[in-house]
Structure 1
Amino acid sequence: MNKRLILLLPLVLVVSLFPSQMILNAHASGYTGTGLVCITSPATATNCSNSAPTIGPVTVGSTFTVGVFINNSQPMGGFDIYVAVNASYLNPTNATLGPLITSPSLTNICVNGLAQTGTCTTGTANGPGVVEASTVESSGTNECSNAPPCSGLAFNITYKVVGPTASTPIFYPADGAGCSPSSVATPTDVCVLVADALGNTLPENVLGARVTQGVTVNPTSTAVSCISPVTVGKPTTCTATVTDTATTGATNPTGQVTFSTSGSGGFNPSTCTLSSVGTNQAACFTSYTPTSVGTGTHNIGASYPGDTVHTGSATNSFSLTVSPASPTVGTTVILETTGGPVTTNVPVGSSVHETAVLMGGYPATGVSGAVTYTLYANGNCGTPGTVGSRVTVATSNNAPNSPSFILSSPGNFSFQAVYSGDSSNAPGTSSCQLVIVGATTTSTVTCSPSPAVMGTSTSCTVTVKDTSPSPTTPSGIVSFITNSTGTFTNTNSCTLAAGTTTGIASCTITYTPVATGHHFITTSYGGDSTHATSANTSNMPVVVPTTSAPPSTILGLSPAIFYSVIGAIVVVAALLAFLVLRRRGKTLQKSTAVSTTP
């Protein structure tokens, strides 16, 4: 609200304490009530009607002018009045003061938030579709002070019709603290202020108007579709389409669509805003998440309330199929002596139990129903088994453990868990968990030579023995590892070969240590279809290679004397050989001379 009106009216009064002439009430009076601000049409009307006038029908592109009239008010010194319309249909193009204020001053006229005269009051309702007009009597006195009540045309507004609609109002906006004080008692923030020359707010009622157009309101139809089927707890997309079904002059519907469901579920958002499709349709979409399966069918509806040129329509026709979730049943067989899962063969007499957890059900935690544990005396869960127990799924989707099963004989055993399902989850079955129960075995490993020499290969032999009362010969593979630095041949493993004694098998691998110290060689037998696993560790010391020490005597002589004698003998032998060869050379020379004499 233009608070400047309240501040300036007393100032104008001070300047004009002694007016040159009295201001007489020259305005017509017709409204029988007291204090009314109204919209008049035509603008030349001389009083307010007793009800809001209807203006029209008008057509898009046409213009018309209305009056803002104050009827039967107390003597006044000025006003600040806002008038608003929906800018999608009407656009105010001009405003001019009427004759109510005889000598207006400090006039401000603001149209669509732009100043036409003076300035626009900031922080108020000014903006598109809003006209603000304010002025005060320059004489500093009240209008109609000699002949109250006071009536007259405050100002005119010219509008242009810019959009089709069956009807649209002309009203006085409310704007909270921005329009306070107000002449209107209820609500207290209506942007209408009429004041006397001293700045006192005068009480007023208000009466707007309605503008009609000669437009046809076209019928519509609404359809909805969703991506179907959908799993409970998972979102699906639902699309609403509104169609203008008029045979001629069809246009795109506008506004919002509200969704509904016959089942349990939620829309996000529950309403959506239409966007034009083609020339006579509009569509929008939302996300729907069913929270229960119910009957398996959720009827999805969409309701369109209509707009100014379209009737409303609704539908509940789409049948959305809602499927239960399909949780995965994960199971683990636990060896009770270790508390860990069974990863290899177990010996006869082992005690095991099975545990299960549901994954991917709905809700994420809180699946209900039961799990049945079954033991099968074969490897494929295909024949009737022994039911261990039926337990109720816990809130964390974990099932309590099965009872303990004692595997008292060798062979293949299978474990399986079956989930019963509930209102939101389909039944499910775990994979078949195979456990091989074999006769107990022992493994021993020996390496030769021992101690081993660093850098020199040594042979390590492992022997696996069936220790059951009726032994059979084990088969399979034994793996080797060392705690130190060295290399094995045959990729650290060897294959058992039967020995001469039933129930015993062995194999050999070569190990080359490359560091001294204690090398702990560990063997692990993986078992076979009738034998359990076993392992053994052997401590093999590794030493450095040895070298020969020189002899302390040679043929009873110290090495120095011995090698000196040998050296002298070698010298004498060489001299004798030289002399012999020389003597033979002289003899040969004489023989040659005799044979050549004539």
Structure 2
Amino acid sequence: MNKRLMLLLPLVLIVSLFPSQMVSNVHASGYTGTGLVCITSPATATNCSNSAPTIGPVTVGSTFTVGVFINNSQPMGGFDIYVAVNASYLNPTNATLGPLIASPSLTNICIDGSAQTGACTTGTVNGPGVVEASTVESSGTNECSNAPPCSGLAFNITYMVVGPTASTPIFYPADGAGCSPSSVATPTDVCVLVPDALGNTLPENIQGARVAQGVTVNPTSTALSCNSPDTVGMSTKCTATVTDTATSGATNPTGQVTFSTSGSGGFSPSACTLSSIGTNQAACFTSYTPTSVGTGNHNIGASYPGDTVHTGSTATSFSLTISPASPIVSTMVILETTGSPVTTNVPVGSSVHETAVLIGGYPATGVSGTVTYTLYSNGNCGSPGTIGARVTVATSNNVPNSPSFIISSPGNYSFQAVYSGDSSNAPETSGCVLVIFGSTTTSAVICSPNPATMDASTSCTATVTDTSASPTTPSGTVSFGTNSTGTFTSIMSCTLAAGTTTGTASCTVTYTPTVTGHHLITSSYGGDSTHATSANTLNMPVVIHTTTAPASTILGLSPAIFYSIIGAIVVVAAALLAFLALRRRSKALQQSAPVSTAS
């Protein structure tokens, strides 16, 4: 006989309040009717009762034995039957075959998932509270083949009462495809198989039993508490405590507590399983997540349906305070010519727009509502303001931009975005963004000397001019920079001083280049409360320092003087030599002339 996979499916049966009527045997040649597999008590009964029997009352710690009887079946060659109980209240301790199968063979008896005889079928519902008994006629023939129908005790089971309950069933588990084929047509897939000797499945009905205890069902009370207040989209813990309020014999309630709410929200889990506290209480908890504010208070309910020895009870509702979620809204002012955020020194006449960013809120997929953009002609977002636009928040918290603003007069302006809120989210206001719009300016920079000489300083002067129709003198500072190697004076900026012409101002720094080449000198005006920024550059060449070689000298005299002196000396020397030569000649002539005598 094939073993089958099974799952426990409790079968609740009607408790008979009247004495059982016995079903008479039917003896008919060639019988083709449907038999009945039933639970009998006492186990020695020779027939099934007219309805499911009620066994007891029994008490915790006592034992009793029931029979599993097959009544008025077609001739059979064996059986494979599973019987189940709730192991919290009953525990099967023994099972033995009855006389129905005259010569049993290949017998398997499994109790609580452990083999008592043979082996347990694996992968089935065998486990706590389950008994499986199977056997076949060793002769290979059918029982009662000469005198159908066939009736008799298939096997009996002894149970011990292990837990208090008013009533608990003995039933046949079912298990989808694991119990197919089954002898039972309705309900389907019940783990009862009675075949003939050829393996053909015989039709059977089933009848269980109910075991009653003489126990008192105690009253209970249920209390509920939640962590309050809570915020939309955020979970809060709610705890239910069930108490057995009996003055004596109180026990721990078991089972589950279900929850409810008067508002919009969900529980996870929707029902929680009680865990014992002390000797007469049990508690469990759930998480509640509100999805909208509603009235601002959600009434949370908790209901305990009871168990076999406890009545049900309902808690007084808990008033949970709900606050809306708080998204964050911010805004930026975008200069449309650059696409970048700005805050100061924007030229008058520039086109700008606001872009708001909305973060958080509930649900995570995005809030609903609107964002209002407002422009103020002051620097503190104080009234009155001009509403630029009211836009609807799109999916994923995407907020459309405001239309363009063109500011025609210089001054301090402020921008702000306000989110309207919705049923789950509170209204929120962005910070106040101050933007300074000023008159347009131009900057010019000159350096002198230009070209500059490496390692020699040059003075660089920046001049800022108000280019508006009614110019005023710019103030503030000018910052300098270079794309090459060189140093400015101790700071790379200077403070403007008014020029001789209204609407102009200048200041000067010193720059020392340390390499040759072209140095790009940049001057950047930072603007003031009424003037916009401007900048300019100067491409200044830097050359190497050149020097004139010192003139040569002769004996400390310039060559011209030296040679003129030499020339003079030569002339004098020549004259002297000529004079001396003439004198020598004259003397020689005198010595050679005759001497005259007086007469």
TM-score (norm 1): 0.82
**Are positions 1:135 and 2:148 aligned together?**
no
Q: Deviations over 1:73-129 (max 9, x none)?
A: 233332222211122221111111222233333322222222212222334332222
Q: Report if the CA contact (8 A) 1:89-1:163 is conserved.
A: yes
- Distance in structure 2 (CA, Å) of the matches to 1:294 and 1:483: 64
1:455 corresponding residue in structure 2: 455
How far 1:348 sits from its partner (Å)?
Answer: 3.0
Q: Deviations over 1:353-372 (max 9, x none)?
A: 33334333334455443333
Q: Report if the CA contact (8 A) 2:230-2:236 is conserved.
A: yes
- Distance in structure 2 (CA, Å) of the matches to 1:125 and 1:370: 59
Q: Report if the CA contact (8 A) 1:29-1:150 is conserved.
A: no
The amino acid across from 2:443 in the alignment is: S
Q: Report if the CA contact (8 A) 2:217-2:311 is conserved.
A: yes
Q: Report if the CA contact (8 A) 1:107-1:136 is conserved.
A: yes
1:21 corresponding residue in structure 2: none
SS of residue matched to 1:538 = strand
How far 1:207 sits from its partner (Å)?
Answer: 1.2
**Are positions 1:215 and 2:240 aligned together?**
no
The amino acid across from 2:440 in the alignment is: T
The amino acid across from 1:267 in the alignment is: F
Fraction of identical pairs, as percent: 85
Q: Report if the CA contact (8 A) 2:301-2:316 is conserved.
A: yes
SS of residue matched to 1:490 = coil
Q: How does 1:347-362 map to 2 (within 5 A)?
A: 347-362=347-362
2:249 corresponding residue in structure 1: 249
- Distance in structure 1 (CA, Å) of the matches to 2:168 and 2:278: 27
The amino acid across from 2:328 in the alignment is: T
Q: Report if the CA contact (8 A) 1:31-1:50 is conserved.
A: no
| Aligned length in residues | 538
- Distance in structure 2 (CA, Å) of the matches to 1:268 and 1:100: 52
How far 1:500 sits from its partner (Å)?
Answer: 5.1
**Are positions 1:518 and 2:537 aligned together?**
no
The amino acid across from 1:175 in the alignment is: D
Q: How does 1:544-555 map to 2 (within 5 A)?
A: 544-549=544-549
- Distance in structure 1 (CA, Å) of the matches to 2:102 and 2:402: 100
How far 1:166 sits from its partner (Å)?
Answer: 1.7
The amino acid across from 1:57 in the alignment is: P
2:60 corresponding residue in structure 1: 60
Q: Deviations over 1:521-563 (max 9, x none)?
A: 11111111222211111112122233544658877869xx99x
Q: Report if the CA contact (8 A) 2:416-2:433 is conserved.
A: yes
SS of residue matched to 2:177 = helix
C-alpha change, 1:31 and 1:459, in structure 2 (3 Å) is farther
1:178 corresponding residue in structure 2: 178
1:228 corresponding residue in structure 2: 228
- Distance in structure 1 (CA, Å) of the matches to 2:389 and 2:105: 97
- Distance in structure 2 (CA, Å) of the matches to 1:476 and 1:212: 98
Task: List gaps (5 residues or longer) in structure 1.
Answer: 5-27, 566-598
C-alpha change, 1:412 and 1:78, in structure 2 (3 Å) is closer
Q: How does 1:336-347 map to 2 (within 5 A)?
A: 336-347=336-347
- Distance in structure 2 (CA, Å) of the matches to 1:323 and 1:475: 51
Q: Deviations over 1:305-326 (max 9, x none)?
A: 2222222223461222222233
- Distance in structure 2 (CA, Å) of the matches to 1:119 and 1:243: 44
C-alpha change, 1:114 and 1:472, in structure 2 (3 Å) is same
Q: Report if the CA contact (8 A) 2:226-2:236 is conserved.
A: yes
SS of residue matched to 1:55 = strand
- Distance in structure 2 (CA, Å) of the matches to 1:438 and 1:486: 33
Q: How does 1:165-564 map to 2 (within 5 A)?
A: 165-315=165-315, 317-364=317-364, 366-395=366-395, 397-499=397-499, 501-549=501-549
- Distance in structure 1 (CA, Å) of the matches to 2:386 and 2:34: 96
**Are positions 1:164 and 2:157 aligned together?**
no
How far 1:415 sits from its partner (Å)?
Answer: 2.1
- Distance in structure 2 (CA, Å) of the matches to 1:354 and 1:261: 42
Q: Deviations over 1:45-93 (max 9, x none)?
A: 2221111111112222221111112222233332222211122221111
Q: Deviations over 1:165-221 (max 9, x none)?
A: 221111122233333333222234222223334443332222111112222222223
Q: Deviations over 1:374-406 (max 9, x none)?
A: 332221122423333444444454444444433
The amino acid across from 1:333 in the alignment is: V
2:13 corresponding residue in structure 1: none
C-alpha change, 1:456 and 1:245, in structure 2 (3 Å) is farther
SS of residue matched to 2:518 = strand
C-alpha change, 1:546 and 1:123, in structure 2 (3 Å) is same
Q: How does 1:80-91 map to 2 (within 5 A)?
A: 80-91=80-91
- Distance in structure 2 (CA, Å) of the matches to 1:120 and 1:393: 65
- Distance in structure 2 (CA, Å) of the matches to 1:122 and 1:148: 34
- Distance in structure 1 (CA, Å) of the matches to 2:333 and 2:220: 63
C-alpha change, 1:413 and 1:210, in structure 2 (3 Å) is same
- Distance in structure 1 (CA, Å) of the matches to 2:529 and 2:40: 104
- Distance in structure 2 (CA, Å) of the matches to 1:200 and 1:355: 80
**Are positions 1:109 and 2:76 aligned together?**
no
Task: List gaps (5 residues or longer) in structure 2.
Answer: 5-21, 27-32, 567-599
2:15 corresponding residue in structure 1: none
Q: Deviations over 1:8-51 (max 9, x none)?
A: xxxxxxxxxxxxxxxxxxxx984569622211111122221111
SS of residue matched to 2:194 = strand
C-alpha change, 1:387 and 1:188, in structure 2 (3 Å) is closer
The amino acid across from 1:465 in the alignment is: T
Q: Deviations over 1:412-448 (max 9, x none)?
A: 2222233333333322322222122223322222223
C-alpha change, 1:83 and 1:485, in structure 2 (3 Å) is same
- Distance in structure 2 (CA, Å) of the matches to 1:474 and 1:535: 13
Q: Deviations over 1:260-314 (max 9, x none)?
A: 2222222233222222233333222333222222222222222322222222223
Q: Report if the CA contact (8 A) 1:30-1:71 is conserved.
A: no
Q: Report if the CA contact (8 A) 2:343-2:434 is conserved.
A: no
C-alpha change, 1:346 and 1:143, in structure 2 (3 Å) is closer
Q: How does 1:89-100 map to 2 (within 5 A)?
A: 89-100=89-100
- Distance in structure 2 (CA, Å) of the matches to 1:200 and 1:402: 82
The amino acid across from 2:119 in the alignment is: T
- Distance in structure 2 (CA, Å) of the matches to 1:135 and 1:187: 24
2:14 corresponding residue in structure 1: none
- Distance in structure 2 (CA, Å) of the matches to 1:450 and 1:312: 101
SS of residue matched to 2:116 = strand
TM-score (norm 2): 0.81
SS of residue matched to 1:174 = coil
- Distance in structure 1 (CA, Å) of the matches to 2:60 and 2:293: 52
1:588 corresponding residue in structure 2: none
- Distance in structure 2 (CA, Å) of the matches to 1:132 and 1:426: 63
Q: Deviations over 1:223-243 (max 9, x none)?
A: 333333333233333333323
C-alpha change, 1:296 and 1:538, in structure 2 (3 Å) is same
Q: Report if the CA contact (8 A) 2:23-2:48 is conserved.
A: no
- Distance in structure 2 (CA, Å) of the matches to 1:139 and 1:333: 98
Q: Deviations over 1:114-162 (max 9, x none)?
A: 2212222334332222222223334444333443333222222111112
CA RMSD of aligned residues (A): 3.0
C-alpha change, 1:403 and 1:55, in structure 2 (3 Å) is same
The amino acid across from 1:387 in the alignment is: I
